[in-house]
Amino acid sequence: MKNKLLILLCLFATISFAQNKNPLQEAMETLNASKTLYSMKMLDKPIPVPDRSRLINIQVYREKKDDGYDVKAIKATGEAKKLFDKAESFFGSHQYAKARDAYTLALQQDPKLYSAMTYIAQTYGIEKNWDKAELWYKKAIEANYVDFLAHWMLADVYKVKGQKEKALEEISIAKVLNRNNPRLEALRKEIYGLNGLNIKNWTFNPQVRIARDSATGNVNIQSDSIWAIYASVQAAWLYEPKYKERAKKSVMPETMFRECLMGLLPFMENKSLKDSVEVLKRLDKVLTANKLEEFVFYEIILPDNPALIFYLDKKQIESLKDYVIWANKK
């Protein structure tokens, strides 16, 4: 492929990364030498932030397996289901004491019915018995750390009790565990505001479209000027054989996104541009603090794959929680 715009971008990348290992130049030289025809043009209008409100997680539990986790849905069966359904009926008719008794009996039948602990806590919260609610949410979290609802509701309890720092910790864990939940996001904004943090839900939104023509096999790339090199690197990863082989060796595409993000670096040398374009400003902050790993996973991978969080250990989840708080400091 000999596309004039991509040849110019290749030259730009070569100059910007002179005397350094240059994956950008490698990617664009690969495109230029490819048998596939690549074409690039500028976007006519900005790409809106995608609606991911349906990409939400459900309550699950997990069991340690070898070097990872076996993630399972929480599902009542047999006698435990009868008791659980009875508890739900009591809950729905506002008979909270009876609901607690039935949830407790269901738990005795099936100790892995961890959501019952969270619902017991909810009954206490509805009755404004905040100490008991806190106790049971903590029990639920101890039994099943990835229960986002328990972290979410515990944050609300701490908010009511005026413990805003504890509320911040718990709502941030809940946000990591259920990245796209819009109702959870509403409480996050409230608690972040109480803690003097930025409440804006910033979204990494590349101004890039890449599509392959099914008839010709040609690849069409659209982007705005800042995202042009990013788009070219991503196209190489998506369609070039040697990159596809590299991708097979990785469970998640961190390496691809790291190399794509390098395409934004040349534009960060322009201070006025860096200060006026939010993604450049954030990337500069991330690189300065050595938090690129967290940025890639939380901002890029997790929004489209929220259930991947269940395969991380507690330490990794808490590291992402710390990142979310740090990223929203003013």
> According to the 3-state scheme, what is the secondary structure of 19-67?
CCCCHHHHHHHHHHHCCCCEEEEECCCCCCCCCCCCCCCCCEEEEEECC
pLDDT value of position 112: 96
24 pLDDT more than 90: no
261-290 average pLDDT score: 93
State the Cα–Cα distance between residues 51 and 147, nearest whole angstrom: 24
When comparing pLDDT for 244 and 279, which is higher? 279
Q: List the structure tokens of 149.
A: 């609802």
Going by pLDDT thresholds of 50, 70 and 90, the confidence category of residue 235 is: very high
The string of pLDDT tens digits covering residues 2-17 is 444 444 444 444 434 4
Catalogue the E-assigned strands of the chain: 38-42, 60-65, 68-73, 208-212, 219-223
Task: Please give the Cα distance from 47 to 203 (Å, whole number).
Answer: 12
What average pLDDT does the chain have?
92
Q: Closest by alpha carbon to 58, among 71, 43, 76?
A: 71
For residue 149, pLDDT beyond 70: yes
Cβ count near 52 (within 10 Å): 15
Q: Which residues of 119-138 are buried (b: 16+ CB within 10 A; e: fewer)?
A: bbbbbbbeeeeeebbbebbe
Q: Please compute the mean of the pLDDT values over residues 195-211 and round it to a whole number.
A: 97
- For the segment 204-210, the average pLDDT, to the nearest whole number, is 98
Kindly tell me if the per-residue pLDDT of 244 is higher than 80.
yes
pLDDT at 18: 43
Mean pLDDT across the stretch 135-148? 98
AA identity, residue 299 = E
Task: Dig out the tokens for 151 from the structure.
Answer: 């972290």
What does the alpha-carbon distance between residue 93 and residue 72 come to, in Å, rounded to a whole number?
Answer: 30
Q: For position 67, what pLDDT does the model report?
A: 86
CA distance 294 to 31: 29
With tokens 């049971």, the residue in question is 136
Task: Point out which residues pair with 62 in neighbouring strands.
Answer: 71
Mean pLDDT of the region 94-103? 98
Q: Say if residue 133's pLDDT is above 70.
A: yes
C-alpha to C-alpha distance for 219 and 40, rounded to whole angstroms: 9
% the chain with pLDDT above 70? 93
CATH architecture label of 60-194: Alpha Horseshoe (1.25)
Specify the pLDDT at position 253. 86
- CATH 1.25.40.10 positions along the chain are 60-194
Looking at residues 28-40, what average pLDDT do you find?
92
d(CA 125, CA 210): 49
Token pair for 105? 């009996």
Contact 229, 266 (CB under 8 A): yes
Are 256 and 242 in contact, with CB atoms under 8 Å apart?
A: no
